[in-house]
Amino acid sequence: MNYIDAFRDPAVAKQFVRLIAEQGRALADQGRRVHIMEVCGSHTMAIGRYGIRELLPENVELISGPGCPVCVTDPGYIDAAIALAGKGAILATFGDMIRVPGSTSNLTQCRVSGGDVRVCYSPSAAIEIAQSHSDREIVFLAIGFETTIVPVVSIVDEAIRAGVRNVSLLTAFKLVPPALHALLADTEIKIDAYLCPAHVSAIIGSQAYEPFAADYHVPCVVAGFEPLDILYGVNGILAQMLKNEARVENQYARVVRRAGNPKAQARMAQYLEPVDAVWRGIGVIPSSGLGLRPEFAGYDAEKKFGMPVHIGQQHAGCRCGDVIKGKLRPIACPLFSSVCTPDNPIGPCMVSAEGTCAAYFKYALRDVQQGGET
Amino acid sequence: MNTDRLVQLAHGGGGRLTRELIEREIVPRFGNGPLSGLPDGATLPSPGDRLVFTTDSFVVHPLEFPGGNIGHLAVHGTVNDLSVCGGEPKWLSLALIIEEGFAFSVLARILDSVREAADACGVTVATGDTKVVARGQGDGIYINTAGIGLALTGFVLGQERICEGDCVLINGTLGDHGMAVMSARQNMDFVKGPVSDTGSVQRLVAAVHEFGAEVRFMRDPTRGGVAAVLNEIVEGREIGILLKERDLPLAPATRAVAEMLGIDPLHAASEGRLILFCSREVAPAILKRWQALPNGEGAVCLGTVTRDKGRVVMETVTGGRRLVDVPRGELLPRIC
């Protein structure tokens, strides 16, 4: 574990905090406020867990982005899953999904009223369940960004090899770059720089962010999830901003290559093709998702059971969409902590362990009393 | 299939097979004390004026995990509940609910563990019960134990007695049981994975009763972990607690699995740990005494009581501060 401790060294952290403070002051002297979007839910959690917001100067603000795959799942997807459970399918899912609100219900309620919903830690569990229940249909809730997509799609690969036919995927895979593009194109949202995801970048490569730096003049820094990674990343962004530069900087070079992971990319291309995807709170973003290619229709739950996913209904007061887009701080949402809590989540940002609202509720010391429009 | 080695419904039916189960499995292990002759209830000498009485049920899955099994837990859980109330554990009841088809070999291992743990704690299994439920109606075996202890003199314990400046002590690493069970449940085969801390804290309690009123309150951080215990104590009060991340005692394997699954070790259960609040003055002496005892070697001061109304706050390794919240619902793994 010394490898982890090296990235949590308090003395080095102090140095970074000092550098960040100096650069923040220099920017403040120019009358500049800096809005950095941390794209990934794991960054949001790490920032909360290590109290990093507290260490930053007043004019440097971290805004949480849409990078939690659970949070951006549309209610219609949950509705479709519940309908499949109602037809007798076993639903296999990652844990966070079981409390995500659908239009009228969620998977926890579905399980209480007799639906067979099983929480898995690994996609390979889907094959095991399918083999031990050969008389039942197993539907794996296939959500996730680039990092998660390859292991999940390996279910199809394994099923084909093992001759397992009673397993399928209900896909809602999402891609990070199209969402980042949509956010920059939205003139209502102020984003000065992207702190780019760690693990997603390991798959897609740091080159995926080059268009944002070139077309929108937005510094993009790829950073790991350890506290020093994040401080180093913020420091790198401020340095670029002071010099009025905008380039992609890969500070997570111990894992991320410019071209990413070609093997993983090839595997994705083999099984999946781009589709338009619904992002909760954002809406449909063209070609921002991946679905199974037609030749794998037998493993595509929507096609196999003839049950297409429709866009669902959200709670009227829920402003998760604005939170996901970085337009609203969680605490400015009228539902936050009064109606919507981790025990009774109304919106997906409160459900997932990596959701922005959950992170604020769980860790925030300072922000809870302040206003939230960004 | 060799059915004579599996528990049958008839083993709980009250007839010949029930008798056989009791005589083969229970009497040899527990039949010498108040259970001898198998009376309907135990007749016990009164150990003192004030007694401590508790009960707990054990439904852990899997039944066996690195570091112990449900038998150890059934003894330690109840012994520890008596201990943290300032009691000296004396007697246990042992009630088994066994699922039809359960292997006698596993039952024997579990009962051996009950015996071993009870002997180590110096408690006597004084009465018991065995039932068998049909296949599918239980998860192998459930155990309930109730315990009676003698209230130790000297202690004046109460959450309301905790005040600003007090120290929060713990006798060892955090969350080992939770992470060991989680690893076993997910079939994570580690070479050196987390090992449950299941164990008794009674000697640690007995070792501090002479500090009397300087010891404010004790609790064992089981479900919900240390975070749940600390939050419960400060909720609605004028006091808070400050922890330092650097001082959190974590076993390397527990820390590694917690990192992998994205679980905060402060939220993971322990089954052999004791959180003790005491005045700042006596904290060093208590730590010294604990560190010389079995199950106390890793004793440390976790944090201090502050005036930060109702909040448990942690100073992180990077120098930031964050809230330590109570765990919500099931402990779920992170997905990416």
Residue A367: its pLDDT value, please? Answer: 46
Give me the pLDDT at residue A100, please.
Answer: 86
Predicted pLDDT at A228: 95
Distance of CA A268 to the CA centre of its chain: 18
DSSP state of B216: E
Q: Is the pLDDT of residue B313 over 80?
A: yes
Confidence (pLDDT) at B240: 96
Residue A271 CA to residue A173 CA, distance in Å, equals: 12
In three-state secondary structure terms, B48 is coil
Please report residues of B whose CB lies closer than 8 A to that of A228. Answer: 318
Is beta strand A167-174 parallel, antiparallel or unpaired with respect to A193-196?
unpaired
CA angle B211, B212, B213 (to 5 degrees): 115
Q: Would the CB atoms of B322 and A4 count as touching at under 8 Å?
A: no
pLDDT at B330 (0 to 100): 58
Distance from CA of A52 to the nearest CA of B (A): 6
Look at A95 and B335 and tell me if their CB atoms are within 8 Å: yes
Q: What is the DSSP secondary structure assignment for residue A300, as one 8-state letter?
A: B
Q: Residue B325's closest chain A neighbor by CA?
A: A362
**In this prediction, what percent of chain B has a pLDDT beyond 90?**
79
Helix (H) / strand (E) containing A66: strand A60-67
Collect all residues of chain B within an 8 Å Cβ-Cβ radius of residue A223: none
Q: Nearest C-alpha of chain A: how many angstroms from B251?
A: 10
Give me the pLDDT at residue B329, please.
59
The beta-carbon neighbor of A148 closest among B322, B325, B335 is B335
On whether any CB of chain A is under 8 Å from the CB of B330, the answer is yes
Minimum mean pLDDT range among A258-272, B7-21, B111-125: B7-21
**Span A86-120, pLDDT tens digits:** 999 999 998 888 888 899 999 999 999 999 999 88
pLDDT band at B334 (very low <50, low <70, confident <90, very high): very low
Asked whether the predicted pLDDT for residue B333 surpasses 50, the reply is no
**The predicted structure's pLDDT at residue A370:** 40
Q: Tell which wins on pLDDT, B51 or A356.
A: B51
Q: Nearest residue on chain A to B246, judged by CA atoms?
A: A10
pLDDT of residue A2 exceeding 70, the answer is no
Task: Summarize pLDDT for A7-54 with one digit per residue, the tens.
Answer: 888 899 999 999 999 999 999 999 999 999 999 988 988 998 899 988
| pLDDT computed for residue B74 by the predictor | 97
Q: Chain A: residue nearest B256 by CA?
A: A1
**Superfamily per CATH, domain A2-67+184-246:** HypD, alpha/beta domain 1 (3.40.50.11750)
Residue A371: predicted pLDDT: 41
Which residues of A fall within a CB distance of 8 Å from B322?
48-51, 363-365
Residue B204 DSSP label:
H
Q: Per-residue pLDDT tens for B183-225?
A: 888 777 777 889 999 999 999 999 998 898 999 999 999 989 9
Which of A264-268, A369-373, B255-259 is predicted least confidently?
A369-373
Residue B2 CB contacts under 8 Å (≥ 6 apart), including other chains: none
Integer CA distances (angstroms), A216 to A60, A114, A209, A244, B107, in order: 20, 51, 11, 13, 68
- How far away is chain B from the Cα of A200, in angstroms, using its nearest Cα? 9
Phi, psi of B52 (to 5 degrees): -115, 135
Partner residues linked to A248 by β-bridges: A220
pLDDT in tens, A310-368: 999 888 888 888 888 888 888 899 999 888 988 788 887 887 777 888 888 888 765 44
Chain B 223-262, CB below 8 Å of chain A: which residues?
246, 252, 255-256, 259, 261-262
What is the average per-residue pLDDT within A197-219?
A: 97
Of A17, A55, A145, which has the smallest distance from its Cβ to B336's Cβ?
Answer: A145
ipTM comes to 0.72
| Mean pLDDT estimate for chain A | 91
Give the span between the Cα atoms of B4 and B88, in whole angstroms.
Answer: 41
B317 touches A at CB < 8 Å: yes
- Range with lowest mean pLDDT among A170-174, A307-311, B279-283: A307-311
Best of A121, A129, A228, A367 to disrupt the B interface (most B CBs within 10 Å) is A121
- Within 8 A of A6 by CB-CB distance, chain B residues are none
Could you say which of A52, A69, A147 has the minimum Cβ distance to residue B318? A52
Residue in A closest to B317 by C-alpha: A10
Whole-number pLDDT of residue A96: 81
Query: Considering only alpha carbons, which residue of chain B is nearest residue A229?
Result: B318
Domains annotated for chain B, with CATH where assigned, are 3-151 (3.30.1330.10), 159-323 (3.90.650.10)
Select the highest-mean-pLDDT range: A141-145, A309-313, B30-34.
A141-145
Rounded Cα distance, A216 and A192, in Å: 9
Cross-chain residue pair A70–B259, CB shorter than 8 Å: no
pLDDT at A262: 97
Give B57→chain A minimum CA distance, Å. Answer: 23
Find out whether A13 and A46 touch, Cβ atoms under 8 Å.
Answer: no
Chain B residues with CB under 8 Å of A362 CB are 323, 325
Task: Please answer yes or no on whether A51 and B321 come within 8 Å at the CB atom.
Answer: yes
Residue of A nearest to B320 (CA): A51
pLDDT of residue B331: 52
B321 Cα to chain A: minimum distance (Å): 5
A195, A39 Cβ separation under 8 angstroms:
yes
| Confidence at residue A324, expressed as pLDDT on a 0 to 100 scale | 80
Is pLDDT above 80 for B317?
Answer: yes
Distance CA(B184)–CA(B195), nearest Å, equals 10
Mean pLDDT, chain B, as a whole number? Answer: 92
Q: Which residue of B has its CA nearest to A343?
A: B328
